[in-house]
Amino acid sequence: MRRRCPRLAQGRRALAGRLQAKVTPLLIARLGYAHRGRSRPGQGVSGPAWALRLSGATPSITQCSSAARLSKRPVAGPPPQWFMPGTGNTRTKAAARPLLKVKLGREGDPARIGAVRRAAPQAQLIVDANEGWNETNLEANLAACAAAGVTLVEQPLPDGRDALLGRIARAIPVCADESAHARDSLHTLAGKYDAVNVKLDKAGGLTEALAMAAEAERLGLKLMVGCMVATSLSMAPALLVAQRAAVVDLDGPLLLAQDRPEALRYEGSLVHPPAAALWG
């Protein structure tokens, strides 16, 4: 007869519990609508994300306004031409959007952001420097953004070389992108960033993205929900996280030549909820 070692059995149970906590696809997060006036602090739900959504245990996804990406298209010479994916590249269409995300990160950015502001005087502007600024031009670029009424600057300095952000006065909120990946990276943002860009691709999926969003809110960081270039199937779960975000940038499918069947419906800056045929 085999004799069991109580200590070994206890260790196995503890290990099994830890593994289950990591691999079971549970959605354990506070799903709030704070910016819509429907926050329910302290309430939590659990279960597979798709099951919760179908059973009505989570708030249903509503349409949200996404930033329109504005990038500088390379041309042979002046004047600079700006390109907005999915629109046919008309300056009038870009100027009419309520929220524009301007991709910068090179010398001469103050002049560029000034030109965008003159062309789109009513739009809310956010700037993505893509780690392209440095300690020499950071303050001048931030000052130019402030003068243009920019409301958020995303990742101005390279990841790992962003300490200066904690030593200067920031006239505009600064958002971490490349400097933030999953929950365990959020504590490194203290004093340097005011917001964090949560992307399902970086976080590892919906469950971790929701947990990351909750932890960011606990730390006092504003939320931006972004994406990589991907199909509507990748954007659909991100819309669930976007319900609680101050800034939404989910235009990934617009950068593709072809999206999936039953794709998300984009109308101007509005992204509509996914159809059941696309995601649960």
CB contact at 8 A, 27 and 206 = yes
Residues 6+ apart with CB under 8 A from 121: 95
Per-residue pLDDT tens over the stretch 170-227: 989 999 999 998 899 999 999 999 999 999 999 999 999 999 999 999 999 999 999 9
Look at residue 109 in the predicted model and tell me its pLDDT. 95
Mean pLDDT, each 10-residue run in order, the chain (280 residues): 58 48 31 31 46 47 64 41 49 73 93 93 94 97 97 97 95 96 93 97 93 96 95 94 93 92 90 88
Q: In what order do the strands lie in the sheet with 174-176?
A: 81-83, 68-73, 99-103, 124-128, 150-154, 174-176, 195-198, 222-225, 247-248
- Domains located in the chain, CATH noted: 1-48 (no CATH), 61-271 (3.20.20.120)
Instruction: Report angle CA 266, 213, 240 to the nearest 5 degrees.
Output: 30
Tokens standing for residue 83:
């390109």
What's the gap between Cα 176 and its chain centre?
10
Give pLDDT, residue 227: 93
Q: Say whether pTM exceeds 0.85.
A: no
Residues 98-133: b if buried by 16+ CB within 10 A, e if exposed: ebbbbbbeeeebbebbeebbeebeebbbbbbbbbbb
